[in-house]
Structure 1
Amino acid sequence: MAGAVFPWRSANQFELLIDGPAFFPRMLAAIDQAHAHIDLEFYLVEAGNCAETIVHALEHAARREVRVRCLFDGYGSLAFTSDLRRRLTEAGVELRFYNPLSWRRGLNNLYRDHRKLLLVDQQLAVVGGTGVTDEFWQPLGNTCDWHEVMVEIQGPLVQDWQMLFERQWRANISRKAWKPARHFGLVRLPRVPEKGEGMGRVAYADAHQHRDIVHSLVRAINSAKQNIWLATPYFLPTWSVRRSLRRAANRGVDVRLLLTGPRTDHPSVRYAGHRYYPRLLKSGVQIFEYQPRFLHLKMVLIDGWTSIGSCNFDHWNLRFNLEANLEAFDPALTQAVTASFIADFAQSQPISLQTWQSRPLWGRVKQRIWGWVDRLVVNYFGRR
């Protein structure tokens, strides 16, 4: 590992919150009840009703002398207007941006902070894959257009999330990814607990320097005995993940992929990922494309082990992005995640090898084009 690894912590409480109307009111309530500290780290932050509501709550918190710190990505927050930024700073909020775009930085502009987390009074964490945009939550009607999950965490694990934020907050001054000192944490992945409840750990990626988040996933897939259910909106997995999924299906594990259907914000990425379908289907992997809305959640369930957070486990994310996931071993959370997957599978279109081979010609053409573009880009950066 290029960086230190977080250990497993016990005696935590987890609650799965599905979609913006469930988790944004909880986040706002936590902000309103904060006494001392509020920290936010988000990638996508755009002006709109959702951002207006969050900014209003942060203003009030700062004016009652709560220390409020916001770390937003320099690219993902381009639509976060100067007026909203001014309101935060005038209220006393400390505002920083990760890697602001600059033509002088060239390819370094590709490095982004993709993490999503809220920390309150060092006692509560809300982590997952949401952004602060109207797609995730419309406050007026309490509705959402994008399907997403967050997890509310209480217990000793919150301190590790706090450490992850603190390190990046300080490192952001020099616009560099966090390189934790060796005296912190572990040097290798800890064993997954065989039993217990309230177990959790922080898994993270730091822009190709540290990737325990994907090493942990591959290890879990390789050791799976019953089921592997994985949801991601952008299906461009690394070779090691694809190979592990195929091998698991070949040995009889129930492997299911919950992927985005035609409703997506990046059709080109969806078509590029289609090139992986045939080999996976032939290996026995089941593929479901979610139909009602854009599926944006990133969630994995493997024999009771869960991983939920910001990471899509694609080669682009793992090369350029700061990512963070909650890994948990908790029966109550496992039950909630299982129920969420079952509900989503029921609203998805199953893809069989026969139907895939008979898809329209235009779909095949777009797969070829965008698959070729993706390979070209990946090979280019691989050589660099």
Structure 2
Amino acid sequence: MFVNFEWREGNQVELLINGCQFFPRVFDSIRSARHEILLETFIIFDDQVGRGLKDALLEAAERQVRIEITVDGYGTADLNSDYIAELRAAGINMHIYDPRPRRFGMRTNLFRRLHRKIVVVDGEVAYIGGINFGADHLPEKDPMGKQDYAVRVRGPIVDDIRAAAETLLLEHQAIQELPALMPAAPEVGEAAILLAVRDNHTHPTDIEEQYLLAIRSATSRLIIANAYFFPSYRIWHELANASRRGVNVILILQGQPDRPWTKNLSSSLYNPLLSVGVRIFEYKERPLHGKIAIADHEWTTVGSSNLDPLSLSLNLEVNLFIRDTKLNREVYEHLVDIMNNSSQEVTPESAAKGPWWRAPLTVVSFHFLRHFPNIVGWRPAHSPKIKPLTVKTSKKKRVLR
């Protein structure tokens, strides 16, 4: 099913920084739900955050709210069976994207993941960002908790977000068409917002194209904070062009990575970017998991998409592209703060340090990762499916399907 999303005027948008702001707002919305909750996420953990989510969902289910939850078969492969059983027993519909058998105890569904993070409540309020449902997104309680972002939106854009969540389930025949919610979301603010999804069929480059449009049109400043930065050649080329024409291009990348190899890949691009005037900062306070950027004084994006081959070419992703001067200024002030107080600028001298084999490895890594999605495509093809999330139990216990 093809859905063509357009810019929507008249929206209200609120920036949410880290789980301490995100989780309470989401849980409050779920507790106030009257008709419907649609939730997609890469990961749910059975920890203090996951249990808080479960409690809020169970309260909503008691009020006969329709609830559809979709999780990823790789990211949420180990969710506790009791957790699943409790939600399903309450009448909550749980789906899993591309569940795959393990081989020698290892998860095999590495690519083409459901990486989107969406919550829609009653067709009135929606949340999109990069935050999973786990305590590792609470840096205030965990020194290595992830730094991340989301937005809460109201207005006509919520209709598009709801349609995107519904479309994914309909495409996989996981649900019947959702009932219409009346009235449609009214205009409530000043922000213009575009929803962009990335899939492997009808929208393979939508998020990348919106980034490219913003980079090409930037005239004064461009700041990108991204967790896993190894962009397509087109994005890399346009960033260099923007810097050459006088745009202040700044990258905030991981300096305290949750996966050390990702920093090695990103740093392999430092020298060519520094050579054309791009400034690079490594965020040192904690792992950076954010996917957020601003251009000039109006444009902002927040979502689930990293700027790497997995997000740009394989995973299912979703970003909001927002034209709103107030949000842009708020994000700018925040990014400048972490850049100045929690990051270290990369210099040509520091970027040049390393063993003799680093330069040839950079060339090999760059060209390999450019073609990585095509290489993955050589593997025997399978069509990912959304299936009911079942409970793993012993033979003596009933299996919920």
TM bin (shorter chain): 0.7 to 0.9
Note the residue ranges of structure 1 that are not aligned, 5 or more in a row.
176-195
1:314 and 2:315 correspond: no
For the Cα contact (< 8 Å) 1:101–1:109, is it kept in 2? no
For the Cα contact (< 8 Å) 1:24–1:137, is it kept in 2? no
Q: Which has the higher helix share?
A: 1
Inter-partner Cα distance in structure 2 for 1:342 and 1:169: 39
Aligned partner letter, 1:350: E
Q: In angstroms, what is the RMSD of aligned CA positions?
A: 2.8
For the Cα contact (< 8 Å) 2:309–2:369, is it kept in 1? no
1:131 and 2:132 correspond: yes
CA shift, 1:207, in A, is 2.7
Q: 1:38 to 1:376 in 2, by over 3 A?
A: closer
Match of 1:356 in 2: 351
Aligned partner letter, 1:313: L
Report the secondary structure of 2:8's partner residue: coil
Report the secondary structure of 2:128's partner residue: strand
Q: How many residues align?
A: 360
Spell out, residue by residue over 1:276-302, the C-alpha distance to the aligned partner (whole angstroms, 9 max, x if none).
111100011000000101110100101
For the Cα contact (< 8 Å) 1:208–1:318, is it kept in 2? no
For the Cα contact (< 8 Å) 1:259–1:290, is it kept in 2? yes
Q: Map residues 58-97 of structure 1 onto 2, 5 A cutoff.
A: 58-97=57-96
Q: 1:156 to 1:44 in 2, by over 3 A?
A: same
CA shift, 1:273, in A, is 2.0
Report the secondary structure of 2:134's partner residue: coil
Inter-partner Cα distance in structure 1 for 2:241 and 2:7: 27
Spell out, residue by residue over 1:189-237, the C-alpha distance to the aligned partner (whole angstroms, 9 max, x if none).
xxxxxxx931111011013642211111101101110111111110110
Match of 1:122 in 2: 123
1:236 and 2:230 correspond: yes
Match of 1:227 in 2: 221
Q: Map residues 1-384 of structure 1 onto 2, 5 A cutoff.
A: 4-102=3-101, 110-137=111-138, 145-173=145-173, 197-207=190-200, 209-210=202-203, 211-261=205-255, 263-303=256-296, 304-346=298-340, 347-359=342-354, 374=369, 377=372, 380-381=375-376
Aligned partner letter, 2:163: M
Report the secondary structure of 1:87's partner residue: helix
Aligned partner letter, 1:257: L
Note the residue ranges of structure 2 that are not aligned, 5 or more in a row.
176-188, 380-401
Spell out, residue by residue over 1:49-90, the C-alpha distance to the aligned partner (whole angstroms, 9 max, x if none).
111110111111111111111011111111211111111100
For the Cα contact (< 8 Å) 2:14–2:152, is it kept in 1? yes
For the Cα contact (< 8 Å) 1:20–1:144, is it kept in 2? no
Q: Sequence identity of aligned pairs in percent?
A: 33
CA shift, 1:315, in A, is 1.7
For the Cα contact (< 8 Å) 1:21–1:143, is it kept in 2? no
Inter-partner Cα distance in structure 2 for 1:130 and 1:40: 13
Report the secondary structure of 1:11's partner residue: strand
Inter-partner Cα distance in structure 2 for 1:326 and 1:3: 18
Report the secondary structure of 1:114's partner residue: coil
Spell out, residue by residue over 1:362-383, the C-alpha distance to the aligned partner (whole angstroms, 9 max, x if none).
9879868966874674562377
TM-score by length of 1: 0.86
For the Cα contact (< 8 Å) 2:101–2:108, is it kept in 1? no
For the Cα contact (< 8 Å) 1:43–1:73, is it kept in 2? yes
Inter-partner Cα distance in structure 1 for 2:8 and 2:120: 17
TM-score by length of 2: 0.83
Inter-partner Cα distance in structure 2 for 1:171 and 1:287: 41
Report the secondary structure of 1:293's partner residue: coil
Report the secondary structure of 1:38's partner residue: strand
